[in-house]
Amino acid sequence: MTEFDVFEERIEIEYFRSTAPSVRAFLTSLRDDAEILGSTCEECGHVEVPPRDACPACGADVESFEPVPSEGELISWTDDGDEAFGVVALDGTDAGFVHALLDDDVEVGARVQAVFADDREGHLSDIEGFEVIG
Amino acid sequence: MRGEVAIVGVHQLATEAEMEDVPEERMVFDAVKGALADAGVDRDVLDTVIVAGNDVLDGRTISNTFTAEAEGGYMKDETKVAHDGLHAAVYGVMRILSGLHDVAMVVAYGNHNSISYEQWTNFALDPFRIRPTGLDGIHLAALQARRYYETTDATPEDAARVAASNLAAARDNPLALRSDDVDPGDVAGSGVAADPLRQLEVAPPGDGACAVILASADRVDEFDPDPAYVQGIGHASDALRPGDDAFHRLRAAGRAGGTALSRAGVDADAVDVAELTELFAPHQLMLAETLGLADHGPDVLDDGVAVNPSGGALAGHAYFATGLHRLAEAARQVTGRAGDRQVDDATTALAHGASGPAHQANAAAVVSSEVGP
Amino acid sequence: MREDVAVVGTGITPGEDKRKDADIPTLMREAAQDALADADLTPQDLDAVVVGNAGEFFAGTNMPDLFGLSEIHADGLPEMRIHTGGTAGASTGLAGFYHAASGLYDTVMVVTFEKLGDVNAQQALSTVYHPIFQRQYGAGAPSAAGAQAMRYIHKYGSDKTEYQAAKIAAKQRRCAMEVPYAQLKMELEPDEIMESPPLSTPVKFLDTCPATDGACAMIFQTADAAREAAGQPAWVTGVGAITDGVNQPHRDWADPEACVKAGRKAYEMAGVEDPVRDFDVLELYDAFSFQEIIWHEALGFADRGEGGSLIDEGMTTPDGEIPTCPSGGVLCHNPIGATALIRQAEAARQVMGTADHQIPDVDRSLGHGWGGVIQFFTAMIFETTPQGEPP
């Protein structure tokens, strides 16, 4: 090793992201109502969660945001030893919702439901994760 | 487009865990100089230069500001694709097909400094809807793999066989970052990366670079190597939709490959060698299916097309250089320059590149030693 | 050229320093939807999409094209991203052109954006500089522009140059009054610009571009499809791009060799011999007013050292012989990664007859861009008829 063979640097950049209506509505719903909001396309009926302002199925503008059930079927999961994540097909929606799993022993096909935090700020972490209910 | 564009020079740096004392510019320079030497030509012959690089990896915005000269791009029509090197090659082919350029240098590199693959992929996720969960590309790959196992007959044992096979193949590849003599049981016992992925099933990141020279077919005689004709190209990107079938079927990869094959005028069964970007072992099985190389992914382990004789990405990936490694390998295979890993009678090869979390952005090329059908 | 290619539709979002109501996918979508409507096409008509912006650190997302794919109708389509800093918009436009000119894709949409309003700009911009040699000292693009202007004045400038730059800035700002999407609309006299505070001597505050949240989309089609377009297509008859090297010691920002060469390549392709005579309107990438003088010279509209005379003689105002930046240009609207595409889009609009500040009787226009450390140069020429055909 010679001197100065490594040049250290730390890049720190702060972001203050403007949000689209779907995101505003989604975060508000998490904080105020402990509900997961989805978006419903008036053209083709596709229900997306988390909500988006354009329909991923047909490309139309979407302006309708409604709460969706916070439970559904676990269609995939992973566990790295520290954290577990799952893809949940929430009932009545056409998308897979990705979030933390709270149980150690899960199987694809399990019924799971969201557990909300008591203190919520309008952030994805307002959902602590999903627990198995059956 | 068949018979119109050829690969006439290739140089790939050996992928290393850390290239000490080697900044990005040097890696690019060595790759480009090597390709020019391989082709037996000077920089003067180049009409255009396309680099594939990533600012986040480099820790620098507008990364090609600093690499342009090393790329051979000084006073040339030089540009940068912010996707995998195989996307840059696809763009290079388009430039030649347009008739406005005859010779293109395509160079791709990845020098991962101190950013991890986990950070790099997490930073690519939707900042509102997924990134805050802390998920990264390895978790997403695990979610894809589990969906794949649940919906097909493929099993984790098949993925373990892929890892063992690729690591063994890499022993014949002096350019690989790693190789190993392991059996599927060792893979299964290598510790959990993110279940169902095992550590040995995750492509290790390294520093690497590769350069490929493309030329209009009517100029191939000006270059030393036997040409490998690029007979078809394709590319496609999928939005990240973990609930859709596209997620575990790697739909965009299938479209990229399908388009390349269709343009080349061949079916998947004409492919002798497939060099695929399998950043995770199960993905090689998924790719085999979506590309039409096998109805049942694990079948490629037993017969038919040779998949990843180089060891693939599992033998070491270098971010955006990885897909170009695959193209370089495909070119070597069809021109008999693959050394100890040469597949007998290889005349047609399929190269695939992927980047982004969950293999979202894909490119493919079909190369052949024969100019016509 | 294998295929004749034309622009058939464009979309430019209204500029604000911070679009508080929209995120990046929303901005991209607005531009994309506008371009599709302008071209009278549907998303199903798209064969490929190319995305560009000026930096992952600016966007706050790695590979930022991927998270808005479905918003721009690109989910599942051939898609790639181009990134060359300030000229990313033009490089992306060139990529879109090549997708079509290759003969492989008939209808190609290019979408570019920037949203610096979301980030601490100083922190983000600091990542442009070389980490070891420059990062602590780089004060951003204004210092480069100041050095460039100083160099020009030293080499050629008379005591008129600063005022000529102020007149150019006033011209640009007056033009923007006619352009609804332009972020900055302020009618100013050259004296007011001269009196504005210095940013990086001799460049003053009002000589300088803003940072805008915005997007631009443009749709290319190959000939058979373009001929079916309802409106007048803008045929691409010349393209050129050249990269200079940051490390070349003889590089002279007052005489940018790469800009000269990029222009010449495009001119040769389009059969342009006398730029002043052959062009009807120019959209140059004047991020700073002084640059217009230098770009006019490099692109052959004036002799070396004479570029400032164009504004003095009234050649470059909207009613002049070579109107330059009737859109108001970069000085009035600058979503960095989109800005160079906007130069191409405005040049195309002038040929299509759809520009907000339309110059009468345009047959041939030029869209120019630069990026990096004033090192990447691009040029795209548009005409009312394809290459080789009379107007």
pLDDT in tens, C219-247: 999 999 999 998 999 999 999 999 998 87
In this model, does residue B103 exceed pLDDT 70? yes
* Predicted TM-score (pTM) of this structure: 0.97
Strands C281-283 and C364-371: parallel
Q: Tell me, what's the pLDDT at B88?
A: 98
For the residues of C148-193, what is the DSSP string, one character each?
HHHHHHHHT--TTHHHHHHHHHHHHHHHHTT-TT-S------HHHH
Do A13 and C70 lie within an 8 Å CB cutoff? no
- Coarse DSSP helix, strand, coil percentages of chain B, rounded to the nearest 5 percent: 40, 20, 35
Alpha carbon of A113: minimum distance to chain B alpha carbons (Å): 16
In this model, does residue B304 exceed pLDDT 90? no
From the list B360, B168, B329, B323, the residue with the least C-alpha distance to B247 is B360
In this model, does residue B32 exceed pLDDT 70? yes
3-state secondary structure of B174: coil
- Contacts of residue C70 in chain B, CB cutoff 8 Å? 239
Alpha carbon of B239: minimum distance to chain A alpha carbons (Å): 9
3-state secondary structure of B289: helix
Task: Among C23, C120, C131, select the one facing A18 at the smallest CB separation.
Answer: C23
3-state secondary structure of C261: helix
C119 in contact with B at a CB cutoff of 8 Å?
A: no
* pLDDT under 70: residue ranges of chain A: 1-2
- What the block records as the tokens of A127 is 């959902």
Please provide the distance, in angstroms rounded to a whole number, between the alpha carbons at the two ends of chain B. Answer: 11
Q: Tell me, what's the pLDDT at C129?
A: 65
In this model, does residue B114 exceed pLDDT 80? no
Alpha carbon of B206: minimum distance to chain A alpha carbons (Å): 17
- Contacts of residue B364 in chain C, CB cutoff 8 Å? none
Using the structure block, give the residue that is written with the tokens 């011999």: C273
Percent of chain B at pLDDT above 90?
92
Which residue out of B4, B43, B78 would a mutagenesis test of the C interface target, given it has the greatest number of C Cβ atoms within 10 Å? B78
From the list C169, C158, C66, C48, the residue with the least C-alpha distance to C106 is C48
Q: Tell me, what's the pLDDT at C138?
A: 44
Q: What DSSP designation does B219 have?
A: G
Q: Output the average pLDDT for chain B.
A: 96
Q: Tell me, what's the pLDDT at B61?
A: 78
Q: Tell me, what's the pLDDT at C140?
A: 59
Task: Among C98, C131, C247, select the one facing B60 at the smallest CB separation.
Answer: C131
From the list C297, C219, C305, the residue with the least C-alpha distance to C257 is C297
- What the block records as the tokens of B261 is 């094959």
Task: Tell which A residues from 70 to 109 touch B, by Cβ distance under 8 Å.
Answer: 75-81, 83, 85-87, 89, 94-100, 108
CA nearest B76 in C: which residue? C242
Q: Tell me, what's the pLDDT at B364?
A: 98
- What the block records as the tokens of C361 is 């009787």
Estimate to the nearest angstrom the gap between the alpha carbon of B27 and the chain centroid: 18
CA nearest C128 in A: which residue? A11
- What the block records as the tokens of B216 is 């209009």
Q: Give the angle subtended at the CA of C154 by the CAs of C149 and C159, to the nearest 5°.
A: 85
From the list A134, A9, A36, the residue with the least C-alpha distance to A93 is A36
Identify whether A50 is preceded by a cis peptide bond (ω within 30 of 0). Answer: yes
Task: Among B75, B94, B238, select the one facing C98 at the smallest CB separation.
Answer: B94
CA nearest C265 in B: which residue? B77
Burial of C274 (0-12, 13-18, 19+ CB in 10 A): exposed
CA nearest A5 in B: which residue? B21
Task: Among B62, B87, B252, select the one facing C128 at the smallest CB separation.
Answer: B62
Beta strands in chain C (DSSP E): 5-12, 48-53, 79-82, 107-114, 198-200, 203-204, 214-222, 234-243, 281-283, 364-371, 376-383
A3 in contact with B at a CB cutoff of 8 Å?
A: no
Do A9 and C131 lie within an 8 Å CB cutoff? yes
Q: Tell me, what's the pLDDT at A1?
A: 57
Q: H-helix or E-strand containing A89?
A: strand A84-90
Largest CA distance in chain A: 65
From the list B325, B335, B314, the residue with the least C-alpha distance to B160 is B314
DSSP H helices in C49-135: 56-59, 88-101, 121-126
* pLDDT under 70: residue ranges of chain C: 129-140
Task: Among B73, B80, B234, select the one facing C82 at the smallest CB separation.
Answer: B80
d(CA C66, CA C333): 26
Q: Tell me, what's the pLDDT at B373?
A: 58
Task: Among B65, B77, B87, select the one facing C373 at the smallest CB separation.
Answer: B65
Residue B101 phi/psi, 5-degree rounding, is -135, 145
Please provide the distance, in angstroms rounded to a whole number, between the alpha carbons at the two ends of chain C. Answer: 18
Q: Tell me, what's the pLDDT at C274?
A: 98
Do B62 and C243 lie within an 8 Å CB cutoff? no
